[in-house]
Amino acid sequence: MTPLPRHHSIFFLIMRRMRAPLILLIVIIAISVLGLTLAPGVDADGNPHKLSFFHALYFISYTATTIGFGEIPFAFSDQQRLWVLICIYMSVIGWAYTLGTVFALLADRNLQQAFAMQRFVGAVRNLREPFYLVCGYGETGGLICEALDRMGVRAVVVELDEAKVGEIELHSYAADVPAIAADARNPEILKFAGLTHPHCIGVIALTNDDSANLAIAIAARLLAPKLPALCRAESRDTAANMASFGTRHIINPFEKFAEYLGLALHAPNAWHLLGWLTGLPGTAVERHRDPPRGNWIICGHGRFGRLMAQTMEAQAVPVTIIDRQPPPEADQRWIQGDGTGAEALTAAGVDSAVGLVACTGSDVDNLSAAVTARELNPGLFVIVRQNLYVNRALFDAYDADIAVVPSQIIAHECLAILGTPLLAPFLQEVRQRGEAWSAALLDDLTTRYGWSVPMIWSERINLLRAPALQQRLMDGETVRIADVLRSPAGREESLPCTVAYLRRDDDDHVVMPGPDCPLRPGDELLLIGLPEARNALCLTLAYEHTLNYVLTGKDLPGGWVWERIAAHRNRAATARRVLP
Amino acid sequence: MNLEKVIFGFFIVLAATLNFGFFVGDIDNPAHHDIYELFAAIIVSLIATLLKFGDRTQIGAVHLATSLVADLQLIAAAMVWGYAVHVTGDGMTAKATASVVSLSGGALFANIVSVIILIAETIMQRR
């Protein structure tokens, strides 16, 4: 671990380096001024005259700074000119040395790093809103930062590669993203990046190095035990290690996808629903065809291929593996070769197969295998692994049924966890409920909100988030979900959002509560819908007037005078009703 | 012996002595106060200040502070002198001389503090 540059001492560093040139400059000016006061001259009338210190300093000041101004207060004598000539060259030497030192100082790598560090530390310290600490700005980190930015949440980035840190500055984020090129394994760096900052709301470790992610997880656990940490782990050992000291969210992209694939094979609708709910905000999800059951071929039996094979076997789908090495389990069907050639594919029975998974570590091999296989069997369901996000143009052009992009999977999973903590239990519920339930729900939601990824958020009914509603509920009124989900612009219209999950204060929960479900103080709602519904609902929950209109259809009078007049009118109306 | 310390001590003491040399004499008599001595005092004081740049210690910070005070007072004195001679046109009157000398007296005090700190630092290091 490299020790941190002492960013506190930049000022002292500069002063120390500038000491010699400044002293030289002062000495030169002093000699020049002194010489000029001693050099004999004559005034306009030819009387002997010497420059005073005041005039000498004035003359040297503009001569030494190369402004040049003429000879004052009288034309110089030759002795004075001789001395001035010497002064000019002395001052040039002085300035050249000083400027040289300044430029050398500015070009100094240590100083630049110290400046960058100080700016970064200052920017993080001055953050006054919740932010996530993102370690590693690779493909996944980039996606996460972009999504966070779109969600209006700040991010702080620590990334080892300076080029990638430069990318952040070029990238047009709505909010500034403080970033530093440093090793996130260093706990000091993590502290500077805001790990112990009171506004830090989570740590996301997405470096491509498992041990670095582990180090970040440990640092987060020890230095900020209450912060949720999301960590990427590609090997099982690392994941187990992270789990052993309480990292809350561990994401293994391949395992995650294998899990999704398993779901896709036995419950395609639940899988679609999951994909739709966890998509990146602002993107549209396309409805894929469902993976068919039958013979599958897996090209490449690495970490990912092995997981896919296991998942398929668990779903009782027969698998043929194409790889150069035999698989460790002897009972699996295995063809030696590489999947990019037609022979191996034919030998694996591509004509009769229903699906192909191309999952080697090389994007070119994967695409080549997929193209060859489609030529041999046009109806094939093809899943390709896309290792690098930058290759997406190729994969878009190929139009695979599913392209697996590890960086995207991690990003989706992170966002699902970060967006709202209520989403995770709801997704768990989706996995457990039957296929018919998911199908009905998916159909219902996508006809209402379309296939673009919906807004998912949670609202909590308490004095902070929903003061108006909380007040009414405390007064003993009964308010149902459907009553609140009306448009504040016209209460006949209901808001384009659905309550998907409701968590009660007493650890009870309701999945897909009906419109008649009464709300209670302390309830937490998971809502799915269009972004405009969020603002409208926020208004309804927080403002007494809007809430009253939404609930009763009557506009409350605003302002003290109008309230008085309205109260008077009400009293008069009651009196009239009572009298006759 | 450390050359850096010698130079440092030399400039600090020289700043104080030049300052003192300028300061002694009747406070309002221009004949007792030589302008070249004031000039030398200012230059040496500025160099002494620069020598204190970049010292991170507590004593270094106090050194720098006292030196800056001395610079400020001496430069103010020089400005008063220049103003009296070139702007008002009265030349060095008793009043102007008195204010120049009293300003340099303030600088002298700061320089003496500097010297005391220097001595204290030296004694501390002996132990």
**pLDDT at residue A247, as a whole number:** 77
Task: Give the model confidence (pLDDT) of A160-218 as tens digits.
Answer: 888 888 888 888 888 888 999 988 898 989 999 999 899 998 899 988 888 899 999 88
Q: Residue A439 is encoded by which pair of tokens? A: 């199908």
Q: Residues 10..69 of A with a Cβ closer than 8 Å to B: which? A: 12-13, 15-19, 22-23, 26-27, 30, 33-34, 37, 52-55
Give the chain A residue nearest B11 (alpha carbons). A23
Average pLDDT rounded to a whole number, residues A365-384: 86
What rounded mean pLDDT belongs to chain A?
A: 83
Instruction: Tell me if A19 and B47 make a contact (CB, 8 A cut-off).
Output: no
pLDDT above 90: residue A382: no
> Would you list the DSSP string of A511-531?
ES--TTPBP-TT-EEEEEE-H
pLDDT above 70: residue A7: no
Provide the shortest C-alpha distance from residue B64 to chain A (in Å). Answer: 12
Average pLDDT rounded to a whole number, residues A261-274: 80
Amino acid of residue A416: A
Looking at per-residue pLDDT, the higher value among A484 and B38 belongs to B38
pLDDT band at B97 (very low <50, low <70, confident <90, very high): very high
pLDDT band at A131 (very low <50, low <70, confident <90, very high): very high
pLDDT above 70: residue A577: no
Contact A397, A379 (CB under 8 A): no
Of A58-62, B36-40, B89-93, give the lowest mean pLDDT range.
B89-93
Average pLDDT rounded to a whole number, residues A40-63: 89
Q: Other CB atoms closer than 10 Å to residue B32's CB: what's the count?
A: 14
Task: Pick B56's closest partner by Cβ from A9, A23, A26.
Answer: A9
pLDDT above 50: residue A11: yes
Average pLDDT rounded to a whole number, residues A223-236: 86
pLDDT above 50: residue A2: no
Q: Which of B53, B64, B92 is the best substitution to test chain A (most A C-beta atoms within 10 A)?
A: B53
pLDDT above 60: residue A580: no
Looking at per-residue pLDDT, the higher value among B109 and A17 belongs to B109
Q: Other CB atoms closer than 10 Å to residue A477's CB: what's the count?
A: 13
Is B36 at the interface with chain A, CB within 8 A? yes
Contact A125, A73 (CB under 8 A): no
pLDDT band at A330 (very low <50, low <70, confident <90, very high): low
Q: Residue B63 is encoded by which pair of tokens? A: 């050194």
Kind of pairing, strands A455-460 and A524-529?
Answer: antiparallel
Give the chain B residue nearest A56 (alpha carbons). B82
Angle at A251 between CA A188 and CA A265, to 5 degrees: 170
Distance CA A59, CA A2 (A): 52
Instruction: Tell me if B46 and A34 make a contact (CB, 8 A cut-off).
Output: no
Of A217, A238, A196, give the one whose Cα is nearest residue A135: A217
Contact A519, A480 (CB under 8 A): yes
Query: Long-range contacts made by residues A363-367, C-beta under 8 angstroms, separation at least 24?
Result: A363/A387, A363/A388, A363/A391, A363/A394, A363/A395, A365/A299, A365/A300, A365/A338, A365/A339, A365/A340, A366/A299, A366/A300, A367/A394, A367/A395, A367/A398
Instruction: Tell me if B82 and A53 make a contact (CB, 8 A cut-off).
Output: yes
DSSP A9: G
Query: Long-range contacts made by residues A29-32, C-beta under 8 angstroms, separation at least 24?
Result: A29/A60, A29/A64, A29/A91, A29/A94, A30/B39, A30/B43, A31/A87, A31/A90, A32/A56, A32/A60, A32/A64, A32/A83, A32/A87, A32/A90, A32/A91
**pLDDT at residue A558, as a whole number:** 61
Looking at per-residue pLDDT, the higher value among A511 and B103 belongs to B103
Task: Give the model confidence (pLDDT) of A403-457 as tens digits.
Answer: 778 888 788 888 877 777 788 888 888 888 878 888 888 888 888 888 888 888 8
Looking at per-residue pLDDT, the higher value among A93 and B60 belongs to A93
Instruction: Tell me if A12 and B35 make a contact (CB, 8 A cut-off).
Output: no
Is A72 at the interface with chain B, CB within 8 A? no
Distance CA A205, CA A195 (A): 12
pLDDT above 60: residue A3: no
- Give the bridge partners for A525, in sequence order: A459, A502
pLDDT band at B2 (very low <50, low <70, confident <90, very high): confident
Q: Could you tell me if the ipTM is greater than 0.90?
A: no
Q: Residue A480 is encoded by which pair of tokens? A: 């149902």
Of A165, A168, A166, give the one whose Cα is nearest residue A146: A168
Q: Give the residue carrying structure tokens 């969210």.
A: A249
Chain A residues with CB under 8 Å of B47 CB are: 23, 26-27
* Percentage of chain A lying above the pLDDT 70 cut: 95
Task: Give the model confidence (pLDDT) of A279-294 as tens digits.
Answer: 777 777 777 777 788 8
Q: Where are the domains of chain B?
A: 3-124
What are the distances in angstroms from CA B77 to CA A29, A50, B34, B70?
19, 21, 13, 11
**pLDDT at residue A373, as a whole number:** 86
Chain A residues with CB under 8 Å of B35 CB are: 53
pLDDT band at A4 (very low <50, low <70, confident <90, very high): very low
Distance CA A33, CA A30 (A): 5
Average pLDDT rounded to a whole number, residues A257-277: 80
Of A43-47, A228-232, A565-569, give the lowest mean pLDDT range.
A565-569
Q: Which of B14, B34, B46 is the best substitution to test chain A (most A C-beta atoms within 10 A)?
A: B46
Q: Residue A341 is encoded by which pair of tokens? A: 């050639």
Instruction: Tell me if B54 and A26 make a contact (CB, 8 A cut-off).
Output: no
**pLDDT at residue A8, as a whole number:** 53
Provide the shortest C-alpha distance from residue B113 to chain A (in Å). Answer: 22
- Please give the helix or strand (H or E) that residue A132 lies within, else none: strand A131-135
Contact B70, B51 (CB under 8 A): no
**pLDDT at residue A31, as a whole number:** 93
Instruction: Tell me if B50 and A30 make a contact (CB, 8 A cut-off).
Output: no
pLDDT band at A1 (very low <50, low <70, confident <90, very high): very low
Distance CA B40, CA B55 (A): 25
pLDDT above 90: residue A260: no
pLDDT band at B23 (very low <50, low <70, confident <90, very high): very high
Distance CA B106, CA B102 (A): 6
Looking at per-residue pLDDT, the higher value among A103 and A564 belongs to A103
Q: Residues 417..446 of A with a Cβ closer than 8 Å to B: which? A: none
Average pLDDT rounded to a whole number, residues A82-89: 90
Chain A residues with CB under 8 Å of B89 CB are: none
Contact A182, A122 (CB under 8 A): no
Is B39 at the interface with chain A, CB within 8 A? yes
CA A273 to chain centre: 24
Is B51 at the interface with chain A, CB within 8 A? yes
Q: Residue A511 is encoded by which pair of tokens? A: 């999945």
Instruction: Tell me if A22 and B54 make a contact (CB, 8 A cut-off).
Output: no
